[in-house]
Amino acid sequence: MSQILEFHFNPKPKDDLIFDSFCFEPSNVYEKRMGSLYMVGILKNALPQNVRFLDNLAQTIKGKYYKTISANPEKSLKESLRKANESLEAIAKKGDVSWLGNLDFTVISLKDFELNFTKVGDLKLFLLRKGQIIDIDQKLKFDDIEPYPLKIFGNIVSGKLAENDVIMILSKDVTTAFLQENILGNIARFSPFDPKKLKDLLNAKREQLTKFSGICLLIFLTKELEGLKEKETLSQKRTLKIFSFAELFKEVRLEKRFISLIKEIFQRKKATAKPTPQKTKEKVSQPKLRLQKPHLALPKISLSLPKIKISLPRFLFNKKLVLMLILIFFLLIGFLIFEKGEEKELRAYQEKMNQIESKVSQAETYLMLSEKAPQVKNKANTLFKEAWEEISPLIGIASTFPSNLASQILNIKETVSSNLYQLNKLTEIQEPEQVFEFSLKTFIPQKVISSGSDVFLFSPYAENVFKINQEGEEGKSSSSPTVKNGETLEITRKFNSASLWGDSVLLFSKPDQLTILKDGQFSASSSLPTPYLDFNFSNLSTFESNLYLLDNQKGAIIKYTYFYGSEWAFPQSWLSPAIKNATDFRSMAVDGSVWILTKNNEIQRYYAGRLQETLEIDVFPSPKLVSKIFTSSRHSYIYLMEPTQKRIMVLNKSGELIGQYHSDKFDNLLDFSVSDDGKTIYLLNGLKLYRFSI
């Protein structure tokens, strides 16, 4: 009934992006009542513990779908989605809510051309029919996620399909690529649809498509093809062919029958070599020769093969024997070569370790000199980093080396890491102070911002704002406030981002609503003029009377100037038109200059719309995925959050490292905020709010 084509585009390893497709065909008569089940999922900003998140979700839906006792696929799909919501709620109850807002997932059931589907997130569904392109997911009314109880999957759309219809599920970036390259239009013009033409078309656009990461699942409805499935990956890959001794000697078979035959031959040889009675008598008269011992008699035995009578053809015996000897010979040669190669390899490793040890010794010398000459400390840091890069590949295989070499590797590793932690100002926080812990049934925060002694938490998926008030106790420093009970500030609006606005908090709701929170009271909401039709901001920051919004999909920074009351001037594109690489932007902060965190973990400083300088985040351990940058005109430092390595980094505005703060408790970092004086950092980690001082 359907042919399935799966395309994974440029699946380079990315720490924060997981995507996959899942296709389930009925395997028995009971499952055939429900038809086929197809799913596509994407998890952005993924944490390491969620590497199996999509697989587990797909198996949950599939398991319930085919086990539900129903003759109606739509009812079965509803039951499976209810089960999926329960499973996701259980995950959230354990404190892992990092996937909220980062999950794109589509589920399709198909039986006898009857279609049922639902989706969450930015995946696109198109129906291609007789040259037409129909955006079918526009028919689905998407409600916002309701976290009480948690409800991710909601409405289902049903419809009737026809033979030769094509359903395409595309991730957001792949949709953009298909539209830019007119691939979608070309596919729609295939009449009839031809998978080979599709592959030729995609191969012709390979260079352009490998710049995007994402997925395409295509379902072609036809009566001639039954459950055919193909999967392709468009990326630069090489295949290594492995040589195998097993393949070389696959003709050799040492069967039990052959081994027993050899024994039988030698037994017959012994029988033919027995002495005559007369000779025996002579030898008995000389008992000291002990002719009863077979091994002493063997030299006198004639081992002439022609005298041996066997039922097996002689040429067959010789061939197997030769093959067996060749096998033994090659195995012996291989063993000797391996031994020699292993010895040579160990000598190379030992020489490498001696070089690393010499570099570490030189770095320690620089470190001792740094007390009198601080400028050489950077040389020590550089040498220790080089030593770490060189020794890191050996740490994991140290146990396979001789004990003296393994001990040398581990000792140098300990020396290098301890010095690097000290030089890179890494503070380990064993037990960060917990300010508040939320209950799944009351509130699931996603964002945090602090103002004065108040901390505000909110979510794009739930109404209201939660406020925590902190006040200094008498006799104690105001930097160590006590926590008062939190309270809910009620408002029928959900907020996506926030920024300080003088002594107020400016809250933004998509697509264009602004609300001011001051002294625990909300002002009336105002609307921002929309800069362009598909504007989709990802970051907000303020400076004086100006508001800046970042759209990292378009690579645009939009600036608004405040007039009076609730009026904002018409939006202006702030970046210079000469800036071409703005789609690399990940996060933004403004203090007069605009600071951009790029996807390459670099910090770019812009002024008047033009790039002024680029700062490297030169710390140990090296950054993998920094997710947020923060600074303001009232803060002297730049603050960076990296959830994958459970740390906050602090730099001055010249790029020099001030400190970094790590804790194993920071295992689900969602957002952070910095106190007005810049000395206290508030961390939203799952359902817990932590704080620490720097």
228 versus 425: the higher-pLDDT residue is: 425
Of 265-269, 357-361, 499-503, give the lowest mean pLDDT range: 265-269
For the question of whether the overall pTM of this predicted structure is more than 0.75, the answer is no
Per the DSSP assignment, residues forming a β-bridge with 647 are 642, 662
Cα gap 576→560, rounded to integer Å: 16
Place of tokens 């035995």: 301
Residue with tokens 């028995």: 28
Count of residues in the chain: 694
The answer to whether 58 and 23 have CB atoms below 8 angstroms apart is: no
| Cis status, amide bond into 192, omega within 30 of 0 | yes
pLDDT tens profile 300-344: 444 444 544 445 555 445 666 767 777 777 777 766 666 666 677
127-173 per-position pLDDT tens digit: 888 778 888 876 554 444 444 345 677 778 888 888 888 899 999 88
Take residue 375 and report the two structure tokens written for it: 């400028």
- pLDDT given for residue 372 in this prediction: 64
Read off the DSSP letter of residue 307: G
Longest dimension (CA), the chain: 134
Q: CA 509, CA 496: separation in Å to the nearest integer?
A: 5
Residue 17: Cβ within 10 Å count: 19
Q: How far apart are CA 555 and CA 65, in angstroms?
A: 41
For the segment 590-606, the average pLDDT, to the nearest whole number, is 94
Contact 571, 562 (CB under 8 A): no
How many angstroms from the chain centroid is the CA of residue 347? 37
Beta bridge partners of 206: none
How confident is the model at residue 565, as a pLDDT? 66
Residue 145, both tokens: 């996620």
DSSP letter for 400, please: G
Ranking 389-403, 424-438, 642-656 by mean pLDDT, the lowest is: 389-403
pLDDT reported for residue 566: 65
Residue 77 tokens read as 């799909």
The residue ranking higher by pLDDT, 442 or 673, is: 673
Give me the domains of the chain, ranges plus CATH numbers. Answer: 2-234 (3.60.40.10), 347-423 (no CATH), 428-693 (2.120.10.30)
HSE-up (13 A, CA, CB side) for residue 188: 16
Q: SS3 of 115, please?
A: strand
- Over residues 417-423, mean pLDDT: 92
Contact (CB, 8 A) for 621 and 615:
no
Per residue in 569-586, pLDDT (tens digit) is: 889 999 998 887 677 899
Tokens of 255: 């069967």
pLDDT at 260: 52
Q: CB–CB of 582/575 below 8 Å?
A: yes
Q: Indicate the range of 167-171, 258-262, 633-637 predicted with least confidence.
A: 258-262
* Start-to-end C-alpha separation, the chain: 63
pLDDT at 243 over 70: no
The residue among 159 and 253 whose pLDDT is bigger is: 159
In whole angstroms, give the CA distance from residue 652 to residue 639.
Answer: 9
